């Protein structure tokens, strides 16, 4: 794949519900909410992740492979009106994303394992997914990941802070928009995943908002958490 335009630093943490509520209150006074936020300050994100029969993407994450790529189709607010195919690339600890908007018909083709149309799309994400579908054996949807996201942004340092709650997973067979999937919740005690992304620095006034919190950076993957939840075990 051609080198993405911008690699960013990404840090992840798990917060209890009380910490998340306090942090959210601080953030909304010091940063701008995402332009797509609803009246509650966020929006629902649903992603269909792809992997092969050997669970290569899962194992690379668990093994801490430095350079890796994974693919997902992302939808918002339980709607199939707008869908994005996304390639998430990680190289030397930095992350980047390449996106391409797809139609409902193209989405249906991917779910059936028909990747041929991607050859006719010029976008790097489409071309790379087609290539990987030929290399990775049995490349297919592996899990649905769903959560409610609150996002706060700051132009200085291009900082983006996300609070992801209600994390839940479901089997790919439940990808039907006219019925409720059989969701399994990952965090029984209501924890929230905190993600902090930035280009080169975080302004000092944003750093100060985390004072009083005991934050331990973790290798959190909503993909692996939900996959293990629906399978009932780790897959190693």
Within-domain flag for 63: yes
| For residues 106-111, average pLDDT | 92
pLDDT band for 23, please (50, 70, 90 cuts).
very high
Q: For the segment 28-85, what is each residue's pLDDT rounded down to a tens digit?
A: 888 998 888 888 889 999 999 999 999 999 999 999 898 999 999 999 998 888 999 9
Within-domain flag for 95: yes
Within-domain flag for 113: yes
Within-domain flag for 211: yes
pTM for the model: 0.92
Q: What average pLDDT is seen over the chain?
A: 90
Map the chain to HEC letters.
CCCCCCCEEEEEEEECHHHHHHHHHHHHHHCEECCCCCCCCEEEEEEEEEECCCCHHHHHHHHCCCCEEEEEEEEECCEEEEEEEEEEEEECCEEEEEEEEECHHHHHHHHCCCCHHHHHCCCHHHHHHHHHHHHCCCCEEEEEEEEEEEEEEECCCCEEEEEEEEEEEECHHHCCCCCCCCCEECCCCCCEEEEEEECCCCCHHHHHHHCCCCCCCCCCCHHHHHHHHHHCCCCC
Residue 232, pLDDT score: 81
Go through 213-234 and write b for each residue having 16 or more CB atoms within 10 A of its CB, e for each that does not.
eeeeeeebbbbbbbbbbbbeee
| For residues 111-123, average pLDDT | 93
Within-domain flag for 98: yes
Within-domain flag for 3: no
- What is the domain extent for residue 170? 8-231
Within-domain flag for 2: no
Residue 142, pLDDT score: 94
| For residues 113-142, average pLDDT | 93
CATH number of the domain that 129 lies in? 3.20.100.30
pLDDT band for 234, please (50, 70, 90 cuts).
low
Within-domain flag for 93: yes
Counting the structural domains of the chain, the total is 1
pLDDT band for 235, please (50, 70, 90 cuts).
low
């Amino acid at each position: 794949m051609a080198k993405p335009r911008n690699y960013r630093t990404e840090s992840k943490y798990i917060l209890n519900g009380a910490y998340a509520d306090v942090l959210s209150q601080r953030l909304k006074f010091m940063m701008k909410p995402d332009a797509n936020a609803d009246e509650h300050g966020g929006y629902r994100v649903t992603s269909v992740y792809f992997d092969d029969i050997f669970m290569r993407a899962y194992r690379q994450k668990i093994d801490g492979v430095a350079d890796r790529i994974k693919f997902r189709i992302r939808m918002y607010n339980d709607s199939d009106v707008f869908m994005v195919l996304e390639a998430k690339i990680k190289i030397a600890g930095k992350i980047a994303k390449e996106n391409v908007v797809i139609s409902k018909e193209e989405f249906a083709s991917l779910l059936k394992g028909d990747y041929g149309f991607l050859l006719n799309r010029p976008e790097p994400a489409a071309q790379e997914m087609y290539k990987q579908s030929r290399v990775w054996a049995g490349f297919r949807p592996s899990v649905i990941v769903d959560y409610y996201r609150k996002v706060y942004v700051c132009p200085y340092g291009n900082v983006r802070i996300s609070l992801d709650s209600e994390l839940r997973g479901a089997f790919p067979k439940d990808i039907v928009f006219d019925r409720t999937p059989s969701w399994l919740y990952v965090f029984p005690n209501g924890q929230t995943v905190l993600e902090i992304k930035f280009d080169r620095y975080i302004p000092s006034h944003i750093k100060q908002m985390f004072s009083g919190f005991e934050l331990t950076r973790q290798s959190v993957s909503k993909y692996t958490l939900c996959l293990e939840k629906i399978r009932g075990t780790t897959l190693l």
